[in-house]
Structure formats: C-alpha cells, structure tokens
Chain A
Amino acid sequence: MDGASGWMMQHAWLIPALPLASFAIVGLLVSPVSKRAAGIVATLAIMASAACAYLLAWEYFTLYPPGGKHPILVPWSYEWLRYQPGLSVNVGVLVDPISVLLLIVVTTVSSLVHIYSNAYMHGDHGFGRYFTFLNLFTFSMLGLVVAPDIIQMYVCWELVGVSSFLLIGFYYMKPSAVSAAKKAFIVTRFADLGFLVGVILLSYFGFRLFPEWSAEVGAATNGLAGTQPVDFAYLNHPAFLARFSELHVAFLGTSMLTLAMILVYMGAAGKSAMFPLHIWLPDAMEGPTPVSALIHAATMVVAGVYLVARLFPAFAYSETAALVVMVVGAFTSLFAAIIGTTQDDIKRVLAFSTLSQLGYMMLALGVCTTEYAAGYTASMFHLFTHAFFKALLFLGAGAVIHAVHTNSIWEMGGLAKKMPITHITFLIATLAISGIWPFAGFFSKDEILVSALAGGHPLVFGVAFVVAGLTAFYMFRIYFVTFWGHGRGEGAAHAHEAPAVMWLPMALLAVLSSVTGFIPMGEFVSLGEHEAHHGINLAIAIPATAVALLGMGTAAFLYIGDGRRAKSAALAMGGAYHVIKQKFYIDELYLFITHRIIFHYIARPIAWFDRHMVDGGVNASGWVTRTSGRVLSFMQTGQVQTYGIWFTGGVAFVILILWCALL
C-alpha cells in the first residue's frame, strides 16, 4: 500500500465525510434556522466532496497512467468492530478505477441535483428536511462506493435504502407516495435478506479458510497481507475462490461459492431492480423528480451493478452465478423495454427505461469471463454514460412537470418552443440513450453489443439489439409527444422555461452526455492485462444505429403531429396528396400492427402480469403473514389456565425431544 502518496489519497475519507458532516450540521443546526441556508450549505458540501473526488481521480491516474495496470488501494482504514481474534471489520476507503468512476458519477450528479433542487423544491414546506435526506443519501452512497469490505458495503447499502425510503415518501400526505416508499423498502429489504445471508456465508467461510490460505499463499499476496476475510481483496483472490468452490452444498448440488454468489446477487438484483424484484422502481417515481434523477436513475440503482462488478472475479469463477446474472439482466432489459412502450406517465417511461438499461449493464457483466473481460469495461462505461443522460432525462422531465403540473405525456405537447433549453437538452439525452453517434450512449452501447457477440452469446446479443431499437422507439415517443405538436393540456399552454438554477445543471449534463462517449474507457477501467475493446466495430455499430434509427423513425411516424395537421399538410402539398394519403394507409396499418397487435397481445399482458402477478405475489406473502398472525393470536385466549397448559405441554415437548435425541 505504498502507492498511497498524494494528499487526497491520504485524506480520501473526506469524500464521504463531507456529506455526513453536512447532513448532521444541516439537519440539526441550519435547517431549523433558515431553509434557504440549508439548501446552500448542503449543496456546497456536496460540491466540495465532488472537488475532492476529482482530485482523487487525478492523483490516481497520474500515479497509474491510463492504459497501464491499475492496482486496488486502500489508502485509509480504521478498525471498527473486532469480532474474533483475527477477524475485525474495518471502515476504510478503497480506491480503484471503478470506485473512482463511481465517485465521480455520484458526486457530479449529486451536486447538479442539489443545485437543481434549490429551485425545484423552492417553497416546499419540507425544504430543509429534503436537503438533509439528500445529504444522508449522498453520504451513504459514497460510503458504499468506497467500501473496502463487504460489511461496510452492506451497512451503507441499508443506509441507502433507508434514505431512499425517506425520500420516496417525501410527500407523505400522498397515500400513493407512502405505499410506494413502503414497497420500495420492503422489497429491497427482502432482497437484502439474500445479501445478508450471502455475506454471512462469505465471511464465515472466508474466516474458516483464512488461516490455511494466508499460510499457503503467504508471500504471493501482492501486498494484500493484513487483509481481513471480509475484504473484497480477499474475497476476489483466486486462491480463496478455488477453495471456496470446492465446498459443496449437499442438498442443492451446487458449490458453496455459487450459492453465496447467487444470494449476494439477490441483494444486487433488489437494489438494481432486476426482474422480479423490480416492482418497487416504477412506484418509486412518487418521490420528488430530482430524487428520481439522483437515486432511481443515476446512483442507487446502479449499486447492484457495482456490487457485481466489485465481486466480479467471484462471479466469473462460478459459471452458474454469471449465467444467472446474464439471463436475468437480458430478460429484464427486454421486459422493461416492452412495458416502457405502453406507459403514459413520463416518469414511468423513464423508470422502465432505467430498468431496461440496468438490465443492459447486468447482461454485460454476465457475458464476460476472466478470459474475455470486455463486458466488464463495457458495463462500467455504460453505467458512467447512463448516469449522465438518464439524470438529464429526469431533470428535463422534472422541468417539464414543474411547468405543466402533470405527469401524463398526453397533456403535454408543443413544449419545444416554450421551453427551448429543456427541449434541446432533453433531445440530446434522448439521442444519447438511443445510441446515436456521437452521443455518449452510442459508444457504451456499442461496447456492450460487441462484448455480447464476441463473448459467444448470440441470443443475448439479439435481445440487446432488439432492446436498442425499442429504446429508441419509446424514448422518441415521449420526446415527440411532449415537445412537438400542440399543447394539449391546460398546463402545457401556459408552460414557460425553467429558471437558470434548473437549466444550468441540465446544460452541464447535456455537455457530459455528448462528450463522455469519447473517453477511452478501456484504458481506465479494465481487468488486469486484457486489452479491452478499442474503437468502434463498424459491423456492429452500423446495424445498431440502423435499428435505433428505425425505432426513432417509427416513433416519429406514429407520434408527430395529429390528424388535423396531416390533413392541412396534405392540402398544402397539393400534388403530393396521393402519396401522403397512401402513407396515411400505411400509418393506419402501422397503428393497427403496433397498437392492436403488439400493444394488445404482447405489451399489455406483460404489463398486466407485472402489476397483478409479480406485485400480487408480494402482496400475497403479506396477506399470508397477517392471516397466520391472526390465527396464532387466538392461541392467546386470555385464560391463565390455557397458558398453564401450554407451559406444561412445553415441558413435555422438551422431555420428548431430549428423550428421543439423547437416550
């Protein structure tokens, strides 16, 4: 750990500590005094944290220039809980390319969302509370990102869940927000159950195998001496993985490693909203829109992806676990994209789009192996670009909602003229997510497609390819309906541009969404020696762009303008009338095929299944618990002699067990 030389490296703990301090100060001292100051202090703290993160990134990549080897450093750590002799849990800061990447994403998006929120939440009676929670969230997310061991990650993981719960339920007067908050918390907690059991398995076997391994590998630990059995450095070590995968779980017929990894993946799937644990995310849109941008698009939901990436060697070691990651990712990606085409609430479309893109990142991790690790780079790259353009989409949607006071796209329309800056930035983000050159999404999506095909998974490639088209379709659908044509609702008629405090962060994100694609991510983030994929593979880029353009064209065809406008255009054109009329038939046909057949027989049933069956399952388990509670509470008759009989029966039961087991 001699590499930790720079000042920022030594003081890397500042990055999560600043938001924590600000959380305490704002929550306890500033917020009761002045709401306005609360927003400013909170924002400044996050910006300072962002500055530290940039400095850290600069130091790290000066020390280990792009293209070379990038070691994992733990420049700062502190013993937190000594559990057993030889096993203690540390809090610390881990610095490696992906944590630096995430630090930049989180601090950047969080700063911009903080700035934006100063205007968006203006006048809300929970203004101070909002910034307190937002700071708490940022702290927990940063703590999660820099976690050097799985315990710290789990703790921050839960804290992130709590702050997300608080923020989704921010409008607590709205019953739907409240139930959404509860649902999000309970679904993710249910998933965390798997994570927790996985953590316990890992730390237990880690601890059991620890003495052997440290004696055996001893010198060859790459300076990892002094690691704890719960540290990622230990968990990802090949020697440990080899031993761990030799342990078999008798009743499942699988190795202990696979079991633990699948349990951990369950937690990741809950947080990253993979099918069937995705049900909380669309409902979570009940929170304030900037929160959706920060938590439910750019940062918290990618925590699952980050966890899988962090434990990538372990996942790659267990083929079954990697397969699960891939299949679930691909399925979620397709499933969510199809549902996305049917939604009318602008935020719900974006939510399903987030699901779909998260599925993309997961499948990219699932297809790569330790031999061919391009998917790893691709996934992180997509995580990076997606954070910017999806945050931008949400902030844009927030600006629109702020202006027209509705979420339904059918009550918007014609906003391009009234909100020119929002329009342009939203268009850039839409182009980016659709994968159109030269915007960021094009590059990262291209790498994912390449890695899927080159990794030997043509089916997954096919799914990803279709999803690319669908993405362009539904994104341009909302784009055209919202910004083009005429204002359809009362609010749309009186819409005006967002204030500068709101559009400035959007403009910045638009710049980032345009240029980040040119970053040669393979030089920064790659696994070991393997040359990551460089440049653009035209054989894939061209069809991918084509399918995106196809989706875009279809959306344009279906959703630009309305009947009246088509008629007036026809009259004006005169000679071209017939052609246009014929086109109109094709339009009808298109409408018939898409709306009547695809929507009715494919997308609607899937959406119905999602709402009633998957959700229903969650509700049913709650019902079962409540009912059994009611039944069991009848045991408690209030008659003291009944209690005495149970007591005596209990003694008989103990005797019986002891007798059978021991005599």
Chain B
Amino acid sequence: MSIIIPELIVIGTAFAIVLADLFMSERTRVVIAPLAALGLLAAIAVNAIHTPVTGELLGGRFAMDPVAWWFKILFMTAALFTVLLSIDTLDGRAGVRARGIGFRGEYYSTILFSVVGMMFLVSARDLATLFVSLELATLPLFVLAAWRRDDPRSSEAGLKYVILGALAAAFIVYGFGILYGLAGSTNLDVIAQRLAGPYTPAFLLAVALVLAGTGFKLTIVPFHMWAADVYQGAPTPVTAYLSVASKAAGLAFAFQVLYRLFGGWVPHWGLLIAVFAALTMTLGNVVAIVQHNIKRFMAFSAISQAGYFLLGFLGAADAGVPAMLFYLLVYIVSNLAAFACIIWFANETGKEHIEDYRGLSLTNPLMALALMVALFSLAGIPPLSGFVGKFFLFSIASQAGYHWLVAVAAVNSTISLYYYLRVVRQMYIEPPADPAAPLRASMSLSATVAILSVGVVTLGIFPMVYDHIHATTIAWLASLAQG
C-alpha cells in the first residue's frame, strides 16, 4: 500500500484545492499556490524517504520500481517548480498583467491531476492503466494550454493540441488493440512474452502506431508539429510545464513501450531510432535559428533536445537508461531555469520576442546570467550539467557503432550554440532599448531561479547524482529480465 502514498497525497491535495476554492474569497485564494506546493513537497518527501523502490498493488497493475521512483521524483519536481513559477502570473503580481488568466483553484488542481496521471503512467503494468494514465496526464494539458480564454492564441493552441492529441490517442489505442488481439492479454509483460517470435504485418502496424503516439508525446519529427504552436500560444508557465513534465511523461511512456513492451526487439530497430534522432535534432535546431518569439524558439530547442534523448535507446539498456534519466534531470533543471527567466521577463514586460531581451545584462545582471547559464547548459558547454548529460548520450551512440549519428549530433550541438548565442547576444551585447530601469523580481521567483541555476551548475560537477541513478537502474533492469 505504501507505494501509492505519494499519488494519494497529490490527488488529495488536488481535491482539497478544488473544494477549498469553492468556499474561498478571491483574496484568500493566494494560499492555494502554497498549498499545492506543500502538497507536492510532501509527496516528494514521502516518495524519496518512505516509499520502497519495489512493490506492486492491484494485482500487479500498479507497480513501483527504481526507474518509476526516479520518474516520479522528476515529475513532481517539475510540477513543484511550475507551481512556484506560476504564482506571480496567477496572482496578478506582474508588471504587465495578463488578461484572462486566473481561476487559481482550477489551475493548480489541473496541474496536480496531470502529475498524478504521469505518476500512474510510469507505474502502469497493464494496457488499460497505461492508456488511462496517459490520458489523465494529457487531458489537463489541453485545458492548461487553452487557459487564457479571451486570448485567441491560447485557445488556438488548446484546439490544435486537443485535435492532434486525440489523433495520437487514437493511433496509440488502435495499436494497443492490435497488440491485445495478438497476445490475448492486457498485461504488458505477458504481451512482451507472447509476442516473441517472427514479425507479422499486424505486429508491425501496431508497433508503428504506438511508436507514432510515443513520438507525439516526445516531440519527435515528424510528430512534433503541435509543439511549436502550442508552446507559443499557451500561457508561459504552462509552456514551461509542457516543455519539461510533458516531455518527461513522453520519455516515461517511451520507456514503457520500448523497454517493457518491445524490449526484445528494440536492439534491432537501431537504424529507425537513429534516423528519427537525426531528423529531430537537425530540424529542431535549424528551424530554431529563424525564430523570433522566444517561446517558439524554446519549443524548437526542446524538439532538438528530444532528438538527443533518442540516442540513449541505441545502446545497451544498462548504459542507456541511466544516461537518459540523468539527461532528463539535467534537461528539466536547465529548461526550467531558462523558462523561469522567460516567465519573469514576460510578467514584467509582457514581451516575448528575442529582440526584447536587449541589454538585459545591464538592467538585471543576475537574471541575464541565469538565463545565459541555462542556455549554455542546454547547448552543452562544459562543465555545465548539459555537457555531462550529452556526453553520456553521445558516447552511447558511439558505442553502439552509430558514429555518423554522433557526428550529426555534434554538428547539431554547434548549430544550437549559434542560436542560443543569439539570445545571449541580445542580453549581453545589444544596448538596452529604452532608458534602462531594472525590472523587479519577486522573492519566490528569484529564489526559484537561484535554486535552479545552482542545479544547472552543480549537477554536472558532483557525480553522486549520476552514480545513484546508475546504481538504482541496474536493479530495474534485473526486474525487467524477470518480468
């Protein structure tokens, strides 16, 4: 029972928020965000300290394992920081108030429901729980993307997301149907066992459909196209959440599919994965160069990062899994640090063009520094954490014999440097546009930026984190072999 406590805490917090919201006056609703943050913090603490790293519930349909443990920590951390970053926007404590945003009770509970979906997703051992939790993780995101009801862009983003999301869900569930028909069971491990054998056309169709759905969540080219529009249109804190938590959920789903469901075949699909990795990072990078809107720019940056993640699936699982998990951690921290600055800037100025960041280093040197460090980490400049993460992934591809892919990835990381430098140039090199007055930053936001920046710098330097991930995932692989 104890393995499900973190989920229960998060659900409980979500319902408590919905209920409390009913009886609260608008003024007292400021306590909702701290409540959500506390709930998440408690769940993280319980997960980290109390929850055993193995165990199962509900007849094996819900199981805990070390990789799920890590994923849950990451999901909840991402959500926690998203909550912290949303406070200013939602409470209207911004220099330029965004219209049509509010409904704090609904907003925070929606985020929490989405997190619960992700947490169930990574613990699912059955097609039904897997699909339901996937939808539970995704549906709130549609709502969040369309949160600003009177902003046509936000609604447009929501509509595009919901239509393509439904399409992806339909592909996934049809693929699941075929798998169920072939195996006669909905248990993931049982399906994996019964499907072993020669390929059949039906099986390949199912694989293609499920992989496409995975690609949708992970923003793999050509299933990525929703990302740019949705990221741009959604409220900025939601964009931050989409770029980290949704991607983490995508990776969790990919783990479920590629390691648990198709574990036996994935080693033969190296070329397919390599082609998609190369396409994704190249397209994401190249298109990012010509972007002007910083959220759209970050969307393409996130797409190209998804390509790097795929490198991890090329190698042996004992190297690939820890490398991907570590890079996910690094990516979450770096991307959130970058988004924290972007959210702050959008709150204070209402602007989201790259050119608007002119001269930021003169008016707000610390924020500019934080954004630069975060972007450099995403670009993979050593010794920032992004470099270490990328190095592990690159060497996995190299060990698997995909030297051409490493070359493509390395060229791409140089291209990415070019466009990340575009932002840095605006901040550090262009003179400020108007009389330079420092923009103010709230305590909660400054603290969040500081914590994240420290993470960006230190994750790469202190080896304990990677060591721990590596050690725990070995146990997971052993459990996979049993199942």
Contact surface of A with B, Cβ cutoff 8 Å: 79-84, 151, 154-155, 158-159, 162, 169, 172-173, 178, 182, 185-186, 189-190, 193, 196-197, 200-201, 203-204, 622, 625-626, 628-630, 632-633, 635-636, 638, 640, 642-644, 646-647, 649-651, 653-655, 657-659, 661-663
Contacts and interface: CB of A to CB of B under 8 A. Distances in A.
Given A636-B229, A654-B211, 13 more contacts: A169-B429, A185-B417, A200-B391, A625-B286, A629-B286, A633-B291, A650-B223, A651-B209, A651-B212, A654-B272, A658-B207, A662-B268, A663-B199
A658 B410 CA distance: 27
A444 to B, nearest CB: 33
Interface residues of B, number: 70
A565 B117 CA distance: 90
B470 interface: yes
B215 A650 contact: yes
Contacts of B268: 662
A155 B425 contact: no
Contacts of A653: 222
A625 B411 CA distance: 11
Main secondary structure of the interface of B (DSSP, over half): helix
B290 A633 contact: yes
Contacts of B376: 162
Contacts of B205: 655
B465 to A, nearest CB: 10
B425 A178 contact: yes
Interface in B402-416: 403, 406-407, 410-411, 413-415
Contact of B395 (A158, A203, A626, A630): A203
Complex A-B, nearest 10 residue pairs according to Cβ-Cβ distance, in ascending order: A643-B225, A155-B382, A654-B208, A650-B222, A629-B290, A629-B289, A655-B208, A629-B286, A651-B212, A646-B222
Interface stretch (B19-27, B73-81, B156-164): B156-164
A165 B27 CA distance: 49
Contact of B410 (A151, A197, A629, A643): A197
Contacts of A155: 382-383, 387
B453 to A, nearest CB: 13
A643 B164 contact: yes
A630 B290 contact: yes
Contact of B429 (A159, A178, A638, A658): A178
B208 A651 contact: yes
B439 interface: no
Nearest to A169: B429
B429 A172 contact: yes
Contact of B212 (A82, A647, A659): A647
B287 A636 contact: yes
A92 B229 CA distance: 48
A647 B392 contact: no
A164 to B, nearest CB: 13
A647 B204 contact: no
Nearest to A181: B429
Nearest to A158: B382
B431 interface: yes
Nearest to B465: A81
Contacts of A82: 463, 466-467, 470
Interface string B283-321: 100111111000000000000000000000000000100
Contacts of A84: 319
A200 B394 contact: yes
Contact of B388 (A81, A196, A629): A81
Contact of A628 (B167, B286, B411): B286
Given A190-B414, A197-B410, A661-B272, A158 B381 contact: yes
B399 interface: yes
B398 interface: yes
B394 A636 contact: no
A11 to B, nearest CB: 21
Nearest to B383: A155
Contact of B398 (A200, A629, A636): A200
A182 B425 contact: yes
7 contacts: A182-B421, A186-B414, A201-B403, A204-B398, A632-B287, A640-B159, A654-B208
A197 B225 contact: no
B428 interface: yes
B168 interface: yes
B121 to A, nearest CB: 21
Contacts of B204: 655, 658-659, 662-663
B5 interface: no
B197 interface: no
B186 to A, nearest CB: 23
Nearest to A177: B429
A661 B268 CA distance: 9
Contacts of A189: 414, 417
Nearest to B160: A640
B411 A193 contact: yes
A200 B201 CA distance: 39
A242 to B, nearest CB: 22
B216 interface: yes
Interface string B452-479: 0000000001010011001000000000
B418 A622 contact: yes
Nearest to A82: B467
B158 to A, nearest CB: 11
A80 B287 CA distance: 36
A384 to B, nearest CB: 28
A647 B213 CA distance: 9
B395 A200 contact: yes
Contacts of B241: none
A649 B283 CA distance: 17
A172 B399 contact: no
B153 to A, nearest CB: 11
